[in-house]
Amino acid sequence: LSEVRGEGARKIGLISLNRPKQLNALNDQLMDELGHALLAFDADDGIGCIVLTGSEKAFAAGADIPVLAAHDHMSAFKNGLISSNWETILQVRKPVIAAVAGFALGGGCELAMMCDFIIAADTAKFGQPEIKLGVIPGAGGTQRLPRAVGKSKTMDMLLTSRMMDAAEAERANLVSRVVPAASLLDEALAAAQIICAMSGPAVMMIKELVNRSFEGPLRDAVQVERRMFHSLFGTSDQKEGMDAFMSKRKPEFKHGS
C-alpha cells in the first residue's frame, strides 16, 4: 500500500507492507510491489523522503516459509531465490526510514536494515531466527547485523535465534530511536518531514556517502551468503525445519547427515 503524506513542496512517500494474516511474510509479489512503489516515489520530484512500515503486530516476520520450503538446492540457485526484487531498495537515492512495530524477523529484519535508519516502536522485536529452520540469513543479515550491533550480539542472535527487544536494539545501535507504539508512524513521518525540507541534493549525497562507508565490501560477502543460503536447500535439516514450522511441531535436525 503506498500513499503520499505530509505538507510543503516535497512530501513523504509512505509504504505499508500489508499481508497482515501472514504477519507480512515477504513473498515475490509483495517484494515486486514494494520495489515498484519505492522506484515510483524515488522518481517523483514531489517526494523528499520515504517511510516503510508494517502493521502493529509485525513489520515483517521474514521470507514466506511455505515458499522457501518448496525449494531444493538447484531451484534456489537457478531461480535466484531471493531474487533481485529484494534489493530494489538499495537503488533508491532518497532516504528510506523503516518504522518498525512488532516482529522484524529474518528477511524482515534484513529489509529494515537495508533502510537508511530504523525508528522502532517499544513493541519491536528484531531477530534472525533462520537457524531454527535449518538455514541462515539470505539477504544480508550476516553482514549488516554485525556492522550495526557488533560481532558478539550478532553471533548470539544468529546462533541461538534469540530476539532483541526495542530497548536492547536501541542500546546496540540497531535503531536510531524508540518511541511509544501509538506514536510510531507520527514520529517517523515527523522525521521524514524534516528531511523533506532539507536540500534534496545534500540529502541524497549524505545517504550515498554514509552507505558507502557501511556497504563497501559488503556486496561480495552478501553474494557468498546467498550461495550458502541456496546450498542449505540441499539438506534434510532445511526440509525438517520448515516442515516442522508448518506442522506446528519442534524440528528434529540430523545435522547434515
Q: Is 105 in the site for ligand HXC (CB under 6 A)?
A: yes
For position 139 contacting ligand HXC by CB under 6 A, the verdict is yes
Q: What is the DSSP letter of 79?
A: T
∠ CA 220-222-228 to the nearest 5 degrees? 110
Q: Are 196 and 105 in contact (CB under 8 A)?
A: no
CB of 153 to ligand HXC, least distance (A): 18
Lateral strand order in the sheet of 47-53: 2-5, 11-16, 47-53, 96-100, 117-121, 177-179
Residue in 110, 170, 187, 225 annotated catalytic? 110
Q: Considering the complex, what minimum distance in angstroms separates the CB of residue 42 from ligand HXC?
A: 22
Alpha-carbon distance of 73 to 59, in angstroms, equals 28
Contact call for residue 23 and ligand HXC (CB under 6 A): yes
Which part of the chain contacts ligand HXC (CB under 6 A), choosing from 40-48, 101-109, 150-158, 216-224?
Answer: 101-109
**47-72 b/e (C-beta count within 10 Å ≥ 16 → b):** bbbbbbbbbeebbbbbbbbeebbebe
Under the binding rule (CB under 6 A), the answer on residue 65 touching ligand HXC is yes
Beta pairing class for 103-105 and 96-100:
unpaired
Taking the complex as a whole, the smallest distance from the CB of residue 139 to ligand HXC amounts, in Å, to: 4
Could you identify the residue written with the cell 523533506? 196
Q: Is 61 in the site for ligand HXC (CB under 6 A)?
A: yes
Q: Does 62 bind ligand HXC (CB under 6 A)?
A: yes
Any contact of residue 22 with ligand HXC (CB under 6 A)? yes
Nearest to 127 by CA among 168, 166, 170, 163: 163
6, 107, 138, 200: the active-site residue:
107
Measured between alpha carbons, how far is 81 from 84 in angstroms, rounded to an integer?
9
Q: Which residues, numbered 157-186, are part of the site for ligand HXC (CB under 6 A)?
A: none
Number of residues that bind ligand HXC (CB under 6 A): 21
- Check: CB of residue 38 under 8 Å from CB of residue 89: yes
Is residue 116 near ligand HXC by the rule CB under 6 A? no
Pairing of strands 117-121, 125-127: unpaired
Q: Is 110 a catalytic residue?
A: yes
Single out the segment in contact with ligand HXC by CB under 6 A; choices: 19-27, 38-46, 190-198, 202-210.
19-27
33 given a catalytic annotation: no
Residue with cell 516442522: 244
From 63, 98, 119, 172, residue interacting with ligand HXC (rule: CB under 6 A): 63
Active site annotation includes 124:
no
Q: Which is nearer to ligand HXC, 14 or 25 (CB)?
A: 25
Catalytic residues: 63, 107, 110, 130
Q: Which residues bind ligand HXC (CB under 6 A)?
A: 22-23, 25, 61-66, 82, 103, 105-107, 110, 129-130, 133, 137-139
